[in-house]
């Protein structure tokens, strides 16, 4: 069965997780993705938490690089730069996370590559984009997405230390934006025959994720309130600790949910209590309401509350641990954790591209490449002879067949 992007060739010059994550989804969709790594490898290899398995498996690197072919090239050498340009001559998409000045330095900027391949989609994903006063500023998701994008401040309780984000949440949100932009650009190329230049960045992605708050601030100039949980506007939009020290998340914003909730939890008298009878009265007495709710939730375990809420059809969720997500039967049944076959490790589960197309298999086709695994194969495809390739290996311009540590 063919996949939607079968026949599309992608060259990736990118490290870490955002742009590689976008290219991994393109590979899942059927594109032939060639990942160009520096001679020392993508900096993310081996630096994120590794699973405790034997033989070892670099699961985070596998996540963002499955389904690709890999070559290793010394981009600091003119010969290496020309090899990448030759790859792009026959490509449909060039994915990179190079700052603009580095693109020019390596001869991989849009003007240089489109002059050679006028139908190319030149796609850049950086912290702050290619335009504006901070376009040359390096940015990771913790800084550009969470910090400067306003997310960390917005989710910090008054007087508390700012929470630290988990790895690559902003990167993977931006990867989805990059995928969407590339698909739109490929459609434009198909219609017009002209190459496209696209620019995705972490700060703009953060603004989109925060746009419900940000859209109001753009109009009135005011920050949204950062009230503590005892001053929330809605009693049923909060988290509560259970008897077994777990947390339950509620989201039932409409007024009609209150009576249904009170009946389900065995507190029908709350419906007629003057302090609790309306959204306005509950907001006015929110410290008391919070105390009542905290006492209520502390009386039962998470599993006991789960049965109550599900029986009543309430909108809730546990604050699940990552291991609980990995074991979630619904997520598994929905195809969230496909299996990849690795020649050394064997079968392991990973996280699927978050989309489904009826009748299409979007599961990963192969594990991530070892460093330089496909160098000879790919360079042969762009017209280099065996002796030419071996000369490049010998002089350190490329690495071939190196097994990643």
Q: What is the pLDDT of residue 162?
A: 85
Tens of pLDDT, residues 12-21:
999 999 999 9
Question: Does the pLDDT at position 337 exceed 50?
Answer: yes
Query: Where residue 405 falls among pLDDT bands split at 50, 70, 90?
Result: very low
Query: Where residue 234 falls among pLDDT bands split at 50, 70, 90?
Result: confident
Question: Does the pLDDT at position 278 exceed 50?
Answer: yes
CA dist., res. 359 & res. 368, Å (int): 25
Residues whose CB is less than 8 angstroms from the CB of residue 277 and which lie 6 or more positions away in sequence, other chains included: 271
Tens of pLDDT, residues 92-129:
999 999 999 999 999 999 999 999 999 999 999 999 99
Q: What is the pLDDT of residue 92?
A: 98
Average pLDDT rounded to a whole number, residues 362-387: 94
Residue 238 and residue 293 in contact, taking contact as beta carbons nearer than 8 Å: yes
| Top-confidence residue, 252 or 49 | 252
Sheet holding 316-318, edge to edge: 239-241, 247-250, 316-318
CA dist., res. 367 & res. 24, Å (int): 11
Average pLDDT rounded to a whole number, residues 297-311: 96
Average pLDDT score over the chain: 92
Residue 331 and residue 322 in contact, taking contact as beta carbons nearer than 8 Å: no
Query: Where residue 228 falls among pLDDT bands split at 50, 70, 90?
Result: low
Q: What is the pLDDT of residue 1?
A: 67
Give, for 72, the enclosing helix (H) or strand (E).
Answer: strand 69-73
Percent above pLDDT 90 for the chain: 76
CA dist., res. 49 & res. 157, Å (int): 28
Does residue 230 sit in helix, strand or coil?
helix
Average pLDDT rounded to a whole number, residues 305-331: 94
Question: Does the pLDDT at position 160 exceed 90?
Answer: no
Domains along the chain with CATH numbers: 9-211+335-399 (3.40.50.10540), 230-323 (3.30.1540.10)
Cα distances (Å, whole numbers) of residue 399 to 74, 108, 385: 8, 20, 16
Query: Where residue 403 falls among pLDDT bands split at 50, 70, 90?
Result: very low
DSSP string covering 10-55: EEEE--SSHHHHHHHHHHHTT-EEEEEE-TT--TTTTTSPPP--SS
Question: Does the pLDDT at position 158 exceed 90?
Answer: no
Average pLDDT rounded to a whole number, residues 274-288: 85
């Amino acid at each position: 069965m063919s996949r939607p992007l079968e026949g599309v060739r992608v060259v990736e010059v990118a490290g870490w997780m955002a742009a590689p994550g976008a290219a991994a989804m393109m590979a899942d969709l059927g594109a032939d993705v060639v990942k160009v790594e520096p001679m020392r490898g993508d900096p993310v290899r081996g630096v994120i938490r590794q699973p405790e398995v034997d033989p070892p498996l670099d699961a985070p690197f596998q996540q963002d690089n499955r389904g690709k072919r890999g070559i290793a090239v010394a981009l600091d050498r003119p010969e290496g730069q020309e090899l990448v340009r030759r790859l792009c001559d026959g490509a449909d998409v060039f994915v990179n996370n190079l700052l603009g000045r580095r693109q020019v330095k390596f001869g991989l900027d849009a003007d240089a590559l489109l002059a050679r391949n006028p139908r190319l989609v030149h796609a850049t994903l950086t912290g702050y984009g290619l335009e504006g006063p901070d376009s040359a500023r390096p940015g990771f998701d913790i800084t550009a997405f969470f910090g400067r994008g306003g997310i960390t401040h917005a989710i910090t309780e008054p007087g508390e230390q700012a929470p630290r984000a988990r790895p690559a949440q902003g990167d993977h949100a931006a990867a989805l934006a990059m995928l969407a932009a590339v698909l739109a650009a490929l459609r434009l190329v198909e219609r017009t025959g002209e190459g496209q230049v696209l620019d995705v960045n972490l700060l703009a992605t953060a603004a989109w994720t925060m746009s419900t708050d940000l859209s109001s601030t753009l109009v009135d100039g005011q920050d949204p309130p950062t009230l503590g949980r005892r001053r929330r506007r809605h009693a049923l939009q909060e988290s509560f600790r259970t008897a077994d020290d777990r947390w339950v998340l509620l989201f039932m914003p409409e007024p009609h949910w209150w009576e249904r909730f009170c009946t389900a939890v065995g507190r029908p008298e709350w419906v007629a209590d003057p302090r609790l009878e309306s959204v306005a009265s509950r907001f006015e007495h929110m410290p008391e309401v919070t105390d009542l709710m905290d006492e209520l939730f502390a009386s039962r375990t998470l599993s006991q509350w789960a049965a109550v809420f599900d029986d009543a059809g309430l909108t809730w969720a546990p604050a699940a641990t990552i291991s609980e997500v990995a074991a979630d039967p619904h997520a598994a049944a929905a195809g969230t954790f496909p299996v990849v076959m690795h020649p050394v490790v064997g079968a392991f589960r990973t996280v699927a591209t978050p989309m489904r197309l009826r009748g299409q298999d979007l599961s990963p086709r192969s594990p991530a490449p070892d460093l330089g695994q496909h160098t000879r194969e790919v360079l042969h495809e762009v017209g280099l002879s065996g002796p030419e390739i071996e000369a490049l290996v010998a002089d350190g311009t490329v690495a071939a067949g190196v097994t990643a540590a």
